[in-house]
Structure 1
């Protein structure tokens, strides 16, 4: 294949199509009409001898060849951009804009107050619009649709070349009971743990979670007395009942009911939970977005 005289706009069109998975949005991203983007796709298909994108109910589905090309082309374009275009300096204290953040419940409770405090000090002209999501893969849909600038949560189930993630915050599980409960004095071994009624946090309404999987591996099963979607109601419920629950440590410590709880290590091994900042490739080189992600990471590290 002879690449002499190739139109670099075709590579920009390919990068936009990989980013947006939609001809209309890709056209808007590079500043051309929809027919021009469709024509660019036709030329790319002829040039590379591959359909590259197939239509599906969820938008354009990249072929294996397109996925293979995505990262090298994106990196090449970013290098060309960095070489030819001097980025505009972003001055946080002078910025007047609104950022859209996708947050699951945990970072909204644990991280958002500190983040807003930092924004108020460093960039008072930046407003924040929060979009909630429960399923980790919903963050990808929000980023793909341009609804949010970044998300904070557990990373998506499937790695996507257009979606970037970076770990920023870790937490561990603890088992809680009311401090007045006899188990608070006896300690929390497996026998005591299984003898108590349990509360389970399940945003999807399922009656089987990570704890149940760990128990099943040991041939054990607990008794569920309550299943609810909101984890931040659990400390108050446990503090006023005979129930126990296994939740993330910061949720228990930051709860208004935290002083009425006793905390124990779970009587079975459970993985540490790592929260990431998640963003789309299209915002990788944006100075304001880069500054925001750095601030989020800094605030998380301070916790």
Structure 2
């Protein structure tokens, strides 16, 4: 298709290169050969008078000009697609397919059990494969590689036009002690807090978390008695010891030992934690993936 001398297929190639940051993968996405995609990139550079993408060890890096063009071109292509292509209706009750979810440990614990129960009713032919990850930026790698359809976790550290996201869950911190702990009766002020022995969840083994950063701003330090790589053993440990922990409320209380714990607002200011639904632009308008994202977001809103 030609419009005022501009081959619109070049815009499709540009969009694929922005999504994939790799000539070979972009060629596969569009359905052309690698040499054809390289030729399209060369024509784009000539047409726009800009290199558009620079090679690096991590793949193609878009120039400022390319970043400026990315969203307008993507929107234009989506409009053309919606106008010209009659997309098939997705019926979750009748489909049989597998969705791949990338989950950090928090949504796997808080969201996944009830999500699967709801999906079992709405889409009995759908199966789920979970890919676990801890580093928030790993979600981008999994999406780029096509290994997952969506991720749920903390938003990646770097924004990128090919990676889309929306918030679906929030949680706040609480400080917990056993019901038998003297602090359970006294309440939790900063003075009491600093007398306690604390547990910290730190996947990287760092002994300086958000609480320690907040205390440092006050010129204070707490005593860490135990550091763990994950948070879900902590409520059971606190329930049976004189240790204390500050962790996310749903993890602290939605456990088998929740009735054995007392929770307080932390005596230092801590931010709420947001968890996002994260997906790749290439699947933004795919009917099945649109349904999956809306189903997950709708279910999360009921928690």
Aligned to 2:74: 74
Question: Scaled by the length of structure 2, what TM-score is found?
Answer: 0.97
2:123 corresponds to: 123
Q: Which runs of 5+ in 1 are unaligned?
A: none
Deviating beyond 6 angstroms after TM superposition, the runs of 4 or more aligned structure 1 residues are none
For the aligned residue pairs, the C-alpha RMSD in angstroms reads 1.2
In the TM superposition, residue 140 of structure 1 has moved relative to its aligned partner by 1.2
Matched ranges for 1:65-214 at <5 A: 65-214=65-214
The question of 1:61 aligning with 2:61 is answered yes
Encode CA deviations 1:151-178: one digit per residue, 9 max, x unaligned.
1111112221111111111111000011
Deviation readout 1:71-116 (Å, 9 max, x if unpaired) = 1110110011111111110000111111111101100000001111
Unaligned 5+ segments in structure 2 are none
Could you say which residue in structure 2 is the equivalent of 1:255? 255
| Mapping of residues 44-59 of structure 1, within 5 Å | 44-59=44-59
Distance 1:203 1:79 in 2: 43
| Whole-angstrom CA distance in 2 between matches of 1:142 and 1:28 | 17
1:15 partnered with 2:15: yes
In the alignment, the residues of structure 1 paired with residue 24 and residue 99 of structure 2 have an alpha-carbon distance, to the nearest angstrom, of 23
Q: Does residue 43 of the first structure (1) align with residue 43 of the second (2)? A: yes
**Number of the residue aligned with 1:271:** 271
Give the 3-state SS of the residue equivalent to 1:302 in structure 2.
Answer: coil
Q: CA deviation at 1:3?
A: 6.4
Q: Measure, in 1, the Cα distance between the counterparts of 2:146 and 2:31.
A: 16
User: What is the match of residue 224 of structure 1?
Assistant: 224
Instruction: Name the SS for the 1:131 alignment partner.
Output: strand
What TM-score do you get using the length of structure 1 for normalisation?
0.97
Q: How many residues align?
A: 302
CA distances 1:194-228 after superposition (whole Å, capped 9, x unpaired): 11111111111111111111111111111111111
